[in-house]
């Protein structure tokens, strides 16, 4: 869990950035491009040599810019927005969540590891099939993780709790 909090701090995810990241365009483009772009940037050392470091830097820049690149959503009544808000709830209030949510999130995070290892080996050994398969294998648990975050969001809202970054009005308590 500390890795997730450190990553959140490194990414500079404040209330405004989280709100913008809740735009479904942000969530979907990040999910669809972040890991594949990073893999392609690493693979580009075949063509670019040390210049691949620029490609890796650009991929990392996209990963950082993406949550800031889109306006706040007009509504959060969609799967991806709920998933982003659920992740925010998970990071900010993990100890308050039901044990089954905490266990599932941990298991799904660990399930990405075999894919990342295969991807890394494929990138290291120039084994393109392994790089692509590993990328997909790492991304599938992430999609399932987002679905769990939607569940967390819905449970949180169903309990009448304020979303992180929002204040409940006195009359709403």
Render pLDDT for 115-140 as a digit per residue (tens, 0 to 9).
Answer: 999 999 999 999 999 999 999 999 99
Quote the pLDDT of residue 171.
40
Residue 1: is its pLDDT beyond 60?
no
The span from the CA of 26 to the CA of 88, in Å, is: 15
Instruction: Answer whether 115's CB lies under 8 Å from 128's CB.
Output: no
**CB burial string 138-148: b at 16+ within 10 A, e below:** bbebbeebbeb
The span from the CA of 48 to the CA of 59, in Å, is: 15
Quote the pLDDT of residue 137.
97
- The CA dihedral of 117, 121, 122, 125, to the nearest 10 degrees, is 180
Q: Which of 121, 126, 132, 122 is nearest to 45 (CA)?
A: 126
Residue 169: is its pLDDT beyond 90?
no
Tokens 């679905």 belong to: 147
Q: With bands split at pLDDT 50, 70 and 90, how would you rate the model's confidence at 168? A: very low
pTM for this model (two decimals): 0.85
Angle, alpha carbons 68-85-166 (nearest 5°): 90
Quote the pLDDT of residue 15.
87
What pLDDT digit, counting tens, does each position of 11-70 carry? 778 889 999 999 999 999 999 999 999 999 999 999 999 999 999 999 999 999 999 999
Residue 86: is its pLDDT beyond 70?
yes
3-state DSSP assignment of residue 1: coil
Quote the pLDDT of residue 162.
83
The span from the CA of 45 to the CA of 48, in Å, is: 5
Residue 166: is its pLDDT beyond 90?
no
The span from the CA of 83 to the CA of 77, in Å, is: 11
**In percent, how much of the chain has pLDDT > 90?**
80
Quote the pLDDT of residue 153.
96
């Amino acid at each position: 869990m500390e890795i997730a909090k450190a990553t959140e701090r490194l990414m500079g995810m404040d209330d405004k950035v989280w709100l913008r990241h809740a735009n479904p365009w942000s969530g979907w483009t990040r999910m669809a491009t972040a890991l594949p772009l990073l893999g392609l940037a690493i693979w580009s050392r075949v063509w670019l040599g040390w210049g691949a470091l620029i490609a890796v830097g650009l991929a990392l820049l996209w990963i950082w810019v993406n949550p800031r690149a889109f306006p706040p959503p007009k509504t959060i009544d969609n799967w991806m927005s709920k998933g982003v808000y659920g992740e925010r709830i998970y990071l900010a209030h993990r100890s308050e969540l039901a044990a089954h949510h905490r266990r599932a999130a941990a298991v799904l995070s660990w399930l990405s590891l075999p894919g990342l290892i295969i991807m890394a080996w494929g990138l290291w050994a120039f084994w393109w099939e392994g790089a692509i398969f590993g990328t997909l294998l790492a991304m599938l648990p992430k999609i399932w993780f987002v679905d769990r975050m939607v569940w967390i969001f819905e449970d949180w809202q169903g309990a009448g709790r304020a979303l992180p970054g929002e204040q409940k009005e006195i009359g709403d308590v």
